[in-house]
Amino acid sequence: MPHRSSFSLRTLGGVCAGERWIYDGDEPIAQLTDAIVEQPEQNLRYFDAILKPVELRKLKLKPGGRPLVAGVQLYWKLGPVATTQLQSVTVDGQGGERLVVTVITTTPEGVATSRREVAISYDGALGSYIYDIRAHLDIHSPEVFDNPRDFGGDDHISFEYSDPWFCDIPGPVAPFDGMWQKRYTHLLAEPADGTIWQMPLNHMATGIPAPRAFADGGLFAVGYDPGNNPAFEFNGDTAARTAIGVCNWGYDIHLNARYTRDELHAPICPEFRIRLCPDEKVQELMRNASPIPKVAFAGFTELPLYERKTSFATGLKLDQPTTGDTDPWPWLPYGEGAEWCRTEGRSDDNSLKISKETPGPTEWALDREGDGAWLERWDLNTSYRISCYIKTENVAGRGSFLAVRWGIYNYPDRYPYICSQKLIGTHDWTLVQAEIHGPPPPESSTLYIMLRQDGSGTTFFDDLEVERITDP
Protein backbone atom coordinates (compact mmCIF):
# COMPACT_ATOMS: atom_id res chain seq x y z
CA MET A 1 0.00 0.00 0.00
CA PRO A 2 1.41 3.43 -0.91
CA HIS A 3 2.55 5.49 2.05
CA ARG A 4 0.25 8.36 3.01
CA SER A 5 1.62 10.90 5.42
CA SER A 6 -0.13 12.72 8.23
CA PHE A 7 2.23 15.39 9.54
CA SER A 8 2.08 17.28 12.82
CA LEU A 9 4.23 19.43 15.07
CA ARG A 10 4.02 18.17 18.65
CA THR A 11 5.43 19.33 21.96
CA LEU A 12 6.56 16.49 24.19
CA GLY A 13 6.36 16.48 27.95
CA GLY A 14 8.47 14.72 30.55
CA VAL A 15 10.39 16.52 33.21
CA CYS A 16 9.01 19.62 31.54
CA ALA A 17 7.41 20.60 28.28
CA GLY A 18 9.83 21.76 25.68
CA GLU A 19 10.85 19.19 23.08
CA ARG A 20 9.19 19.97 19.76
CA TRP A 21 9.12 17.24 17.13
CA ILE A 22 7.68 16.89 13.65
CA TYR A 23 5.75 13.63 13.31
CA ASP A 24 4.47 11.57 10.42
CA GLY A 25 1.60 9.73 12.05
CA ASP A 26 3.14 8.32 15.21
CA GLU A 27 6.72 8.42 13.94
CA PRO A 28 9.00 11.34 14.89
CA ILE A 29 10.95 12.48 11.81
CA ALA A 30 12.69 15.72 12.89
CA GLN A 31 13.25 17.81 16.02
CA LEU A 32 12.90 21.59 16.19
CA THR A 33 15.37 22.99 18.73
CA ASP A 34 16.16 26.35 20.25
CA ALA A 35 18.77 25.54 22.87
CA ILE A 36 22.44 25.92 23.63
CA VAL A 37 24.34 23.40 21.56
CA GLU A 38 25.71 20.51 23.61
CA GLN A 39 29.29 19.34 23.60
CA PRO A 40 31.35 18.85 21.62
CA GLU A 41 29.83 21.38 19.24
CA GLN A 42 29.55 24.15 21.81
CA ASN A 43 33.04 23.54 23.06
CA LEU A 44 34.44 23.94 19.58
CA ARG A 45 33.79 27.62 20.17
CA TYR A 46 32.06 28.24 16.86
CA PHE A 47 28.91 29.29 18.67
CA ASP A 48 30.24 31.84 21.16
CA ALA A 49 28.11 34.59 19.69
CA ILE A 50 25.22 32.28 18.85
CA LEU A 51 24.21 30.79 22.15
CA LYS A 52 20.78 29.57 21.14
CA PRO A 53 20.89 28.30 17.56
CA VAL A 54 17.52 27.57 15.99
CA GLU A 55 17.79 24.30 14.15
CA LEU A 56 16.04 21.32 12.66
CA ARG A 57 17.76 18.18 13.93
CA LYS A 58 17.79 14.42 13.35
CA LEU A 59 15.98 14.56 10.00
CA LYS A 60 14.62 11.29 8.64
CA LEU A 61 14.23 11.14 4.88
CA LYS A 62 12.00 8.08 4.56
CA PRO A 63 9.32 6.41 6.69
CA GLY A 64 10.86 3.98 9.15
CA GLY A 65 14.37 5.10 8.26
CA ARG A 66 17.14 6.32 10.52
CA PRO A 67 18.04 10.03 10.78
CA LEU A 68 20.38 11.05 7.93
CA VAL A 69 20.81 14.80 8.43
CA ALA A 70 22.03 15.70 11.91
CA GLY A 71 21.19 19.39 11.79
CA VAL A 72 20.00 22.24 9.56
CA GLN A 73 20.35 25.80 10.86
CA LEU A 74 17.25 27.94 10.57
CA TYR A 75 19.02 31.27 10.95
CA TRP A 76 21.28 33.58 8.97
CA LYS A 77 24.90 34.43 9.76
CA LEU A 78 25.48 37.94 8.46
CA GLY A 79 29.09 38.65 9.18
CA PRO A 80 29.14 40.20 12.67
CA VAL A 81 25.48 39.44 13.46
CA ALA A 82 23.15 36.44 13.28
CA THR A 83 19.36 36.03 13.33
CA THR A 84 19.29 33.68 16.32
CA GLN A 85 16.77 35.37 18.61
CA LEU A 86 13.59 33.30 18.32
CA GLN A 87 10.41 35.35 17.97
CA SER A 88 7.76 32.79 17.06
CA VAL A 89 6.98 29.36 15.65
CA THR A 90 3.72 28.84 13.77
CA VAL A 91 2.38 25.80 11.98
CA ASP A 92 -0.10 25.23 9.18
CA GLY A 93 -1.48 21.92 7.97
CA GLN A 94 -1.61 19.91 11.22
CA GLY A 95 -2.71 16.35 10.45
CA GLY A 96 -2.41 16.81 6.70
CA GLU A 97 -0.10 15.64 3.93
CA ARG A 98 1.81 18.92 3.86
CA LEU A 99 3.01 20.66 7.00
CA VAL A 100 4.44 24.19 6.96
CA VAL A 101 6.43 25.34 9.99
CA THR A 102 7.33 29.04 10.00
CA VAL A 103 10.14 30.20 12.27
CA ILE A 104 10.69 33.93 12.85
CA THR A 105 14.06 35.00 14.23
CA THR A 106 15.86 38.30 14.53
CA THR A 107 19.29 39.59 15.30
CA PRO A 108 19.33 40.66 18.95
CA GLU A 109 20.53 44.07 17.80
CA GLY A 110 17.64 44.62 15.37
CA VAL A 111 19.67 44.60 12.15
CA ALA A 112 17.60 41.95 10.37
CA THR A 113 14.59 39.63 10.60
CA SER A 114 14.45 36.08 9.20
CA ARG A 115 11.30 34.17 8.27
CA ARG A 116 12.20 30.54 7.65
CA GLU A 117 9.41 28.45 6.08
CA VAL A 118 9.89 24.67 6.25
CA ALA A 119 7.35 22.74 4.18
CA ILE A 120 7.35 18.95 4.74
CA SER A 121 5.74 16.50 2.34
CA TYR A 122 6.23 12.97 1.04
CA ASP A 123 7.21 12.09 -2.55
CA GLY A 124 6.02 8.56 -3.33
CA ALA A 125 8.05 8.31 -6.55
CA LEU A 126 11.28 9.07 -4.68
CA GLY A 127 10.20 7.25 -1.53
CA SER A 128 11.46 10.33 0.30
CA TYR A 129 10.30 13.02 2.65
CA ILE A 130 10.81 16.44 1.09
CA TYR A 131 11.86 19.39 3.23
CA ASP A 132 11.35 22.55 1.16
CA ILE A 133 12.98 25.50 2.91
CA ARG A 134 12.48 29.19 2.06
CA ALA A 135 14.92 31.50 3.84
CA HIS A 136 13.32 34.96 3.79
CA LEU A 137 15.51 37.79 5.05
CA ASP A 138 14.66 41.45 5.63
CA ILE A 139 17.66 43.64 6.44
CA HIS A 140 16.49 46.71 8.34
CA SER A 141 19.87 48.46 8.30
CA PRO A 142 21.85 47.54 5.16
CA GLU A 143 24.30 50.29 6.05
CA VAL A 144 25.83 47.89 8.59
CA PHE A 145 27.33 45.98 5.68
CA ASP A 146 28.80 49.03 3.97
CA ASN A 147 31.46 49.54 6.61
CA PRO A 148 34.72 49.55 4.60
CA ARG A 149 36.74 48.56 7.68
CA ASP A 150 34.91 45.20 7.82
CA PHE A 151 33.71 44.51 4.28
CA GLY A 152 36.12 46.27 1.97
CA GLY A 153 35.20 47.81 -1.34
CA ASP A 154 33.70 44.79 -3.10
CA ASP A 155 30.24 45.50 -4.46
CA HIS A 156 29.15 41.96 -3.55
CA ILE A 157 28.75 40.33 -0.15
CA SER A 158 28.09 36.73 0.89
CA PHE A 159 25.86 35.63 3.78
CA GLU A 160 25.51 32.13 5.22
CA TYR A 161 21.90 30.98 5.15
CA SER A 162 22.53 27.52 6.60
CA ASP A 163 25.31 25.16 7.69
CA PRO A 164 23.93 21.60 7.58
CA TRP A 165 25.78 18.57 8.86
CA PHE A 166 25.13 14.87 8.45
CA CYS A 167 24.67 11.76 10.58
CA ASP A 168 27.43 9.12 10.79
CA ILE A 169 30.12 11.37 9.33
CA PRO A 170 32.85 11.91 10.20
CA GLY A 171 33.67 8.40 11.28
CA PRO A 172 35.31 7.80 14.67
CA VAL A 173 38.95 8.91 14.85
CA ALA A 174 40.02 5.70 16.61
CA PRO A 175 38.17 2.51 17.56
CA PHE A 176 36.31 2.47 20.87
CA ASP A 177 33.53 0.42 22.46
CA GLY A 178 30.09 1.53 21.34
CA MET A 179 31.29 3.70 18.47
CA TRP A 180 28.97 4.65 15.63
CA GLN A 181 29.20 3.13 12.14
CA LYS A 182 31.04 5.01 9.44
CA ARG A 183 28.88 4.82 6.29
CA TYR A 184 30.08 7.30 3.65
CA THR A 185 33.18 7.98 1.55
CA HIS A 186 32.41 10.98 -0.70
CA LEU A 187 30.71 14.34 -1.03
CA LEU A 188 29.33 14.95 -4.53
CA ALA A 189 27.88 17.98 -6.28
CA GLU A 190 26.56 19.32 -9.60
CA PRO A 191 28.09 22.78 -10.11
CA ALA A 192 27.02 25.32 -12.69
CA ASP A 193 29.85 24.47 -15.12
CA GLY A 194 28.34 21.06 -15.96
CA THR A 195 31.03 18.98 -14.26
CA ILE A 196 30.55 16.61 -11.34
CA TRP A 197 32.49 17.67 -8.24
CA GLN A 198 33.74 15.22 -5.68
CA MET A 199 35.57 15.36 -2.38
CA PRO A 200 36.84 12.21 -0.68
CA LEU A 201 35.98 12.12 3.00
CA ASN A 202 39.21 12.74 4.83
CA HIS A 203 39.91 15.70 7.06
CA MET A 204 42.64 17.12 4.83
CA ALA A 205 40.72 17.05 1.53
CA THR A 206 38.41 19.93 2.45
CA GLY A 207 40.82 22.34 0.80
CA ILE A 208 39.66 21.09 -2.60
CA PRO A 209 37.89 24.06 -4.26
CA ALA A 210 34.16 23.61 -3.75
CA PRO A 211 31.33 24.75 -6.07
CA ARG A 212 30.89 28.52 -6.37
CA ALA A 213 27.49 28.08 -8.03
CA PHE A 214 25.16 25.19 -8.82
CA ALA A 215 23.38 24.03 -11.94
CA ASP A 216 19.65 24.70 -11.91
CA GLY A 217 18.31 21.68 -10.01
CA GLY A 218 21.86 20.78 -9.00
CA LEU A 219 22.45 18.44 -6.07
CA PHE A 220 24.89 18.25 -3.21
CA ALA A 221 24.86 14.61 -2.10
CA VAL A 222 26.59 12.24 0.30
CA GLY A 223 27.50 8.75 -0.87
CA TYR A 224 27.42 5.87 -0.74
CA ASP A 225 25.12 3.93 1.57
CA PRO A 226 22.38 2.02 -0.30
CA GLY A 227 19.00 3.64 0.23
CA ASN A 228 20.34 6.25 2.64
CA ASN A 229 22.04 9.01 0.69
CA PRO A 230 20.91 12.53 1.71
CA ALA A 231 20.96 15.34 -0.82
CA PHE A 232 20.42 19.10 -0.96
CA GLU A 233 18.82 20.45 -4.14
CA PHE A 234 19.21 24.03 -5.40
CA ASN A 235 17.06 25.64 -8.08
CA GLY A 236 16.88 28.83 -10.11
CA ASP A 237 18.31 31.98 -8.63
CA THR A 238 19.41 30.18 -5.45
CA ALA A 239 21.48 27.69 -7.46
CA ALA A 240 23.26 30.50 -9.27
CA ARG A 241 24.05 32.38 -6.04
CA THR A 242 25.01 29.49 -3.74
CA ALA A 243 28.62 28.69 -2.92
CA ILE A 244 29.68 25.79 -0.71
CA GLY A 245 32.41 25.58 1.90
CA VAL A 246 33.21 22.25 3.58
CA CYS A 247 34.51 22.19 7.16
CA ASN A 248 37.45 19.87 7.85
CA TRP A 249 36.22 19.22 11.40
CA GLY A 250 32.78 17.76 10.68
CA TYR A 251 32.29 17.87 6.88
CA ASP A 252 29.39 20.27 7.43
CA ILE A 253 28.54 22.37 4.38
CA HIS A 254 28.38 26.15 4.69
CA LEU A 255 25.70 27.43 2.30
CA ASN A 256 26.49 31.00 1.27
CA ALA A 257 24.49 33.23 -1.05
CA ARG A 258 26.06 36.20 -2.85
CA TYR A 259 24.31 39.55 -3.27
CA THR A 260 25.10 43.03 -4.49
CA ARG A 261 24.92 45.73 -1.86
CA ASP A 262 21.93 47.24 -3.64
CA GLU A 263 20.07 43.92 -3.30
CA LEU A 264 20.38 44.11 0.49
CA HIS A 265 17.86 46.98 0.47
CA ALA A 266 15.05 44.62 -0.61
CA PRO A 267 13.88 41.28 0.82
CA ILE A 268 15.91 38.26 -0.27
CA CYS A 269 14.88 34.62 -0.19
CA PRO A 270 17.07 31.67 -1.16
CA GLU A 271 15.31 28.30 -1.40
CA PHE A 272 16.58 24.76 -1.11
CA ARG A 273 15.27 21.24 -0.74
CA ILE A 274 16.43 18.29 1.38
CA ARG A 275 15.60 14.80 0.12
CA LEU A 276 16.94 11.34 -0.59
CA CYS A 277 19.17 10.89 -3.59
CA PRO A 278 18.31 7.65 -5.44
CA ASP A 279 21.03 5.02 -5.43
CA GLU A 280 21.39 5.04 -9.21
CA LYS A 281 21.87 8.83 -9.19
CA VAL A 282 24.60 8.65 -6.53
CA GLN A 283 26.36 5.90 -8.47
CA GLU A 284 26.13 7.97 -11.65
CA LEU A 285 27.67 10.97 -9.88
CA MET A 286 30.52 8.85 -8.54
CA ARG A 287 31.21 7.31 -11.98
CA ASN A 288 31.23 10.65 -13.79
CA ALA A 289 32.95 12.79 -11.17
CA SER A 290 35.90 14.91 -12.24
CA PRO A 291 39.35 13.74 -11.13
CA ILE A 292 40.35 14.80 -7.64
CA PRO A 293 42.94 17.58 -7.76
CA LYS A 294 46.24 17.28 -5.93
CA VAL A 295 45.88 17.71 -2.17
CA ALA A 296 48.96 18.61 -0.15
CA PHE A 297 49.93 19.90 3.29
CA ALA A 298 53.37 21.47 3.75
CA GLY A 299 54.47 19.65 0.61
CA PHE A 300 53.18 16.24 1.77
CA THR A 301 50.61 14.37 -0.36
CA GLU A 302 50.54 11.51 2.16
CA LEU A 303 50.78 11.84 5.92
CA PRO A 304 51.03 9.36 8.82
CA LEU A 305 47.68 8.62 10.43
CA TYR A 306 46.99 9.06 14.11
CA GLU A 307 46.50 5.79 15.97
CA ARG A 308 46.48 5.35 19.72
CA LYS A 309 49.17 2.70 19.38
CA THR A 310 51.36 3.18 16.35
CA SER A 311 54.73 2.66 14.72
CA PHE A 312 53.83 5.31 12.13
CA ALA A 313 53.53 2.71 9.38
CA THR A 314 50.03 3.68 8.20
CA GLY A 315 49.44 6.70 6.02
CA LEU A 316 46.64 8.72 4.49
CA LYS A 317 46.83 9.73 0.85
CA LEU A 318 45.23 13.15 0.98
CA ASP A 319 43.29 12.70 -2.27
CA GLN A 320 41.58 9.51 -1.10
CA PRO A 321 38.91 8.73 1.52
CA THR A 322 39.91 7.10 4.76
CA THR A 323 39.32 3.37 4.79
CA GLY A 324 37.92 0.89 7.29
CA ASP A 325 35.69 1.75 10.24
CA THR A 326 37.55 4.88 11.36
CA ASP A 327 38.25 8.35 9.96
CA PRO A 328 41.55 9.36 11.59
CA TRP A 329 43.31 12.70 11.48
CA PRO A 330 46.93 12.70 10.33
CA TRP A 331 49.98 13.92 12.17
CA LEU A 332 50.93 17.36 10.83
CA PRO A 333 54.46 18.75 10.43
CA TYR A 334 55.29 22.29 11.56
CA GLY A 335 58.68 23.88 11.03
CA GLU A 336 61.89 23.06 9.24
CA GLY A 337 63.21 19.54 8.70
CA ALA A 338 60.13 17.40 9.42
CA GLU A 339 60.14 14.08 7.57
CA TRP A 340 58.05 10.92 7.59
CA CYS A 341 60.87 8.40 7.61
CA ARG A 342 60.21 5.07 5.85
CA THR A 343 63.75 3.58 6.17
CA GLU A 344 64.52 3.67 9.91
CA GLY A 345 62.51 2.98 13.04
CA ARG A 346 62.59 1.11 16.34
CA SER A 347 60.15 -1.74 15.66
CA ASP A 348 60.00 -1.47 11.85
CA ASP A 349 61.27 0.85 9.13
CA ASN A 350 58.92 3.73 9.96
CA SER A 351 59.22 6.72 12.28
CA LEU A 352 58.70 10.45 12.45
CA LYS A 353 61.93 12.34 11.90
CA ILE A 354 63.18 15.88 12.41
CA SER A 355 66.59 16.84 11.09
CA LYS A 356 67.92 20.37 10.79
CA GLU A 357 70.97 22.55 11.40
CA THR A 358 69.13 25.59 12.73
CA PRO A 359 67.93 26.42 16.28
CA GLY A 360 64.31 26.70 17.32
CA PRO A 361 61.40 24.25 17.41
CA THR A 362 60.05 21.86 14.79
CA GLU A 363 57.33 19.36 15.62
CA TRP A 364 54.94 16.69 14.48
CA ALA A 365 51.61 17.56 16.09
CA LEU A 366 48.16 16.09 16.62
CA ASP A 367 45.34 18.12 18.13
CA ARG A 368 42.42 15.72 17.61
CA GLU A 369 42.32 13.40 20.62
CA GLY A 370 39.13 14.05 22.59
CA ASP A 371 35.37 14.22 22.46
CA GLY A 372 35.50 17.36 20.30
CA ALA A 373 37.26 15.39 17.56
CA TRP A 374 34.89 12.46 17.06
CA LEU A 375 35.93 10.16 19.89
CA GLU A 376 34.26 8.86 23.03
CA ARG A 377 32.97 11.39 25.54
CA TRP A 378 35.06 12.71 28.38
CA ASP A 379 34.15 12.73 32.04
CA LEU A 380 35.69 14.40 35.09
CA ASN A 381 38.11 11.51 35.63
CA THR A 382 39.46 11.43 32.09
CA SER A 383 43.26 11.44 32.03
CA TYR A 384 45.92 10.34 29.57
CA ARG A 385 49.30 8.66 29.57
CA ILE A 386 51.37 9.17 26.42
CA SER A 387 54.60 7.30 25.80
CA CYS A 388 57.05 7.28 22.91
CA TYR A 389 60.54 6.13 22.04
CA ILE A 390 63.01 8.82 20.98
CA LYS A 391 66.40 8.45 19.29
CA THR A 392 68.66 11.48 18.88
CA GLU A 393 71.84 12.37 17.02
CA ASN A 394 73.79 15.47 18.03
CA VAL A 395 70.77 17.39 19.25
CA ALA A 396 71.67 20.82 20.60
CA GLY A 397 69.45 23.47 22.17
CA ARG A 398 66.54 22.66 24.46
CA GLY A 399 66.33 19.07 23.28
CA SER A 400 63.84 16.54 21.89
CA PHE A 401 60.76 15.52 23.80
CA LEU A 402 57.10 14.57 23.93
CA ALA A 403 54.57 17.10 25.21
CA VAL A 404 50.83 17.18 25.84
CA ARG A 405 48.30 19.83 26.88
CA TRP A 406 44.57 20.50 26.98
CA GLY A 407 43.26 22.50 24.07
CA ILE A 408 40.32 24.68 23.08
CA TYR A 409 39.54 24.89 19.38
CA ASN A 410 39.59 28.37 17.88
CA TYR A 411 41.09 29.93 21.00
CA PRO A 412 44.75 30.85 21.59
CA ASP A 413 46.87 28.51 23.68
CA ARG A 414 46.13 28.95 27.37
CA TYR A 415 47.00 25.65 29.07
CA PRO A 416 50.53 24.60 30.01
CA TYR A 417 52.61 21.99 28.23
CA ILE A 418 53.32 18.86 30.21
CA CYS A 419 56.65 17.65 28.90
CA SER A 420 58.52 14.37 29.04
CA GLN A 421 62.22 14.02 29.64
CA LYS A 422 64.19 16.18 27.17
CA LEU A 423 67.04 14.49 25.32
CA ILE A 424 70.13 16.51 24.30
CA GLY A 425 73.11 15.07 22.45
CA THR A 426 73.10 11.50 21.13
CA HIS A 427 70.87 8.78 22.57
CA ASP A 428 69.77 5.35 21.41
CA TRP A 429 66.06 4.56 21.58
CA THR A 430 64.83 5.93 24.89
CA LEU A 431 61.32 5.60 26.35
CA VAL A 432 59.81 8.92 27.42
CA GLN A 433 56.43 9.54 28.95
CA ALA A 434 54.04 12.32 29.91
CA GLU A 435 50.78 12.18 31.84
CA ILE A 436 47.97 14.70 31.98
CA HIS A 437 45.31 14.30 34.65
CA GLY A 438 41.69 15.32 34.80
CA PRO A 439 39.32 16.77 35.29
CA PRO A 440 39.68 18.28 31.82
CA PRO A 441 39.09 22.03 31.81
CA PRO A 442 35.36 22.67 31.31
CA GLU A 443 35.91 24.53 28.02
CA SER A 444 38.29 21.97 26.56
CA SER A 445 37.28 19.15 24.22
CA THR A 446 40.63 18.04 22.82
CA LEU A 447 44.14 17.01 23.72
CA TYR A 448 47.17 18.39 21.88
CA ILE A 449 50.11 15.99 21.46
CA MET A 450 53.48 17.26 20.22
CA LEU A 451 56.65 15.41 19.19
CA ARG A 452 59.16 18.25 19.20
CA GLN A 453 62.82 18.94 18.56
CA ASP A 454 63.85 22.37 19.88
CA GLY A 455 67.29 22.93 18.44
CA SER A 456 69.60 21.51 15.78
CA GLY A 457 70.42 17.86 15.14
CA THR A 458 68.34 14.79 14.26
CA THR A 459 65.52 13.05 16.15
CA PHE A 460 63.48 9.93 15.45
CA PHE A 461 60.13 9.35 17.20
CA ASP A 462 58.58 5.88 17.18
CA ASP A 463 56.21 3.41 18.87
CA LEU A 464 53.85 5.97 20.32
CA GLU A 465 51.06 4.88 22.66
CA VAL A 466 48.18 7.04 23.89
CA GLU A 467 46.24 5.55 26.80
CA ARG A 468 43.09 6.91 28.35
CA ILE A 469 43.37 6.32 32.06
CA THR A 470 40.91 6.91 34.87
CA ASP A 471 42.14 8.55 38.03
CA PRO A 472 40.80 7.13 41.27
48 pLDDT band, cuts 50/70/90, is: low
Q: How far apart are CA 241 and CA 309, in angstroms?
A: 46
How does the average pLDDT of the chain come out, rounded?
93
Q: Is the pTM of this model over 0.95?
A: no
User: What is 55-101 written as a DSSP string?
Assistant: EEEEEE-STT--EEEEEEE-S-EETTEE--EEEEEEEE-TTBS-EEE
Give the start-to-end residue ranges of the domains of the chain: 7-288, 302-470
pLDDT for residue 362: 98
pLDDT for residue 347: 94
Pick the CATH number of 302-470 from 3.40.50.740, 3.40.50.2300, 2.60.120.260, 3.40.440.10: 2.60.120.260
Residue among 68, 126, 120, 54 nearest 91 (CA): 120
Q: What CATH number has the domain spanning 7-288?
A: 2.70.98
pLDDT for residue 47: 56
Q: 380-416 pLDDT, tens per residue?
A: 999 999 999 999 999 999 999 999 999 988 777 889 9
On the question of a common fold for 7-288 and 302-470, the answer reads no
153 pLDDT band, cuts 50/70/90, is: low
**Cα–Cα distances in angstroms (integers) from residue 332 to residues 304, 348, 420, 453, 472, in the given order:** 8, 21, 20, 14, 34
Rg (CA), the chain: 25
Q: 78-126 pLDDT, tens per residue?
A: 988 899 999 999 999 999 999 999 999 999 889 999 999 999 999 999 9
